[in-house]
């Protein structure tokens, strides 16, 4: 990156139009993630950042497994508004690497339901070590239903995406068959 003179700084919105490349990058970040960073709200309205392990439900909604002994679970059960950061990581400047912020609504998956059986199997397929504790009484599977996403592909590569942008063609309702 060359140094840009101060008088040539961009003044307008830095958001680029969403294209196929941005959608593909967003999906690959979400598909490959094994951990995410969750932002939730404390009872006093203060934000709270924490680590979660991550998998995808069959409709590609992010799925987390959380203990009711932990602060973020109490936060999510009190106020379902949350934000999930998925970052690819890498060497050098941390800001040079792609990451995506998902604005989500937390939806606990009720136990003893077909939905739970499917979500549990999907979670364990992606996170096999969670078999040690997934059935503990205090653990909950929670879907993080995506409302909106902000993708940053590296310096100057910012995009705003909808939930629809994150559904791959083969799962989209209007995808051609065959």
Q: How far is the CB of 169 from a second copy (least distance, A)?
A: 28
Q: Is 141 exposed, middle or buried (0-12, 13-18, 19+ CB in 10 A)?
A: buried
Q: How far is the CB of 40 from a second copy (least distance, A)?
A: 6
The angle subtended at Cα 126 by Cα 125 and Cα 129, nearest 5°, is 85
14, 25, 147, 177 from 169: Cα distances, Å:
27, 14, 19, 10
Options 20-28, 112-120, 150-158, 170-178: segment touching a second copy (CB under 8 A): 150-158
Q: Hey, what are 135's tokens? A: 């059935």
In the list 20, 46, 170, 176, the residue contacting a second copy (rule: CB under 8 A) is 46
The rounded distance, in Å, linking the Cα atoms of 18 and 35 is 25
Q: How far is the CB of 64 from a second copy (least distance, A)?
A: 11
Q: Is 134 in the site for a second copy (CB under 8 A)?
A: no
| Chain residues that interact with a second copy, rule: CB under 8 A | 1, 3-4, 6, 9-10, 14, 34-35, 37-41, 45-54, 69-71, 81-85, 87, 89, 92-96, 99, 101, 103, 127, 129-130, 132-133, 135-138, 150, 152, 155, 158
């Amino acid at each position: 990156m060359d140094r840009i003179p101060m008088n040539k700084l961009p003044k307008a919105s830095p958001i680029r139009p969403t294209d196929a490349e941005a959608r593909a990058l967003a999906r690959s970040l979400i598909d490959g993630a094994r951990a995410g960073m969750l932002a939730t709200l404390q009872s006093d309205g203060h934000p709270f950042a924490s680590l979660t392990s991550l998998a995808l439900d069959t409709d590609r909604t992010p799925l987390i497994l959380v203990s009711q002994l932990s602060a973020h679970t109490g936060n999510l059960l009190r106020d379902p508004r949350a934000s999930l950061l998925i970052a690819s990581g890498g060497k050098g400047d941390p800001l040079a690497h792609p990451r995506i912020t998902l604005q989500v609504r937390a939806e606990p998956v009720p136990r003893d339901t077909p939905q739970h059986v499917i979500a549990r199997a999907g979670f364990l397929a992606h996170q096999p070590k969670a078999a040690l504790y997934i059935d503990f009484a205090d653990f909950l599977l929670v879907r993080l239903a995506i409302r909106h996403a902000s993708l940053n592909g590296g310096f100057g590569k910012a995009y705003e995406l909808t939930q629809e942008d994150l559904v791959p063609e083969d799962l989209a309702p209007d995808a051609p068959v065959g």
